[in-house]
């Protein structure tokens, strides 16, 4: 029965999208060669598409796939934020170049022994409890 519906939908020039467990099936008719296809609000909401979002369309064998274009790192951060990130990356790379990095450890015990040997700290003072 479902295949009959799909064949009928395809032959009538209708577009449909695959059903998911929580999706509502909808069809949209293509009225003219130059018409714009509008996604119903329920479909946009379920897909998580936002107003102004750029979408990529791929058509293969009668199936249209709509993929949201993901923002690049340049789109995601303001120039001020990008400058802070770049400065922090440069600082980290400088630390690596100058050897201000921890050695590689094969076990947790090696790391803990290195930490204990390199950092002689005074014992913590106990804070008085408030009752």
Query: Residue 63: inside a domain, yes or no?
Result: yes
Residues 59 and 106 reside in one and the same domain: no
> Taking the model in full, what pTM does it have?
0.36
Query: Residue 50: inside a domain, yes or no?
Result: yes
Lowest-pLDDT choice from 30-34, 40-44, 117-121: 117-121
Domain of residue 77, residue span: 73-118
> How many folded domains does the chain comprise?
2
Query: Residue 78: inside a domain, yes or no?
Result: yes
Beta pairing partners, 67 = 56
Query: Residue 62: inside a domain, yes or no?
Result: yes
Residues 81 and 114 reside in one and the same domain: yes
Is the per-residue pLDDT at 130 higher than 70? Answer: no
pLDDT tens, position by position, 64-116: 888 888 777 667 788 899 899 999 999 999 998 998 887 788 899 988 888 88
Residues 48 and 95 reside in one and the same domain: no
Q: Determine contact, residues 15/37, Cβ cutoff 8 Å.
A: yes
| pLDDT-based confidence at residue 119 (cuts at 50, 70, 90) | low
């Amino acid at each position: 029965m479902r295949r009959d519906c799909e064949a009928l939908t395809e032959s009538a020039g209708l577009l449909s999208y695959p059903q998911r467990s929580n999706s509502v099936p909808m069809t949209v008719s293509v009225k003219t060669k130059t018409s714009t296809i509008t996604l119903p609000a329920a479909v946009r909401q379920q897909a998580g598409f936002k107003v102004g979002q750029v979408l990529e369309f791929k058509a293969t064998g009668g199936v249209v796939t709509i993929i949201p274009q993901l923002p690049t790192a340049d789109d995601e951060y303001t120039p001020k934020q990008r400058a802070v990130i770049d400065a922090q990356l440069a600082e980290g790379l400088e630390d690596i170049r100058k050897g201000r990095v921890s050695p590689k450890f094969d076990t947790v015990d090696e790391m803990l022994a290195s930490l204990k040997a390199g950092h002689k700290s005074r014992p913590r003072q106990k804070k008085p409890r408030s009752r």
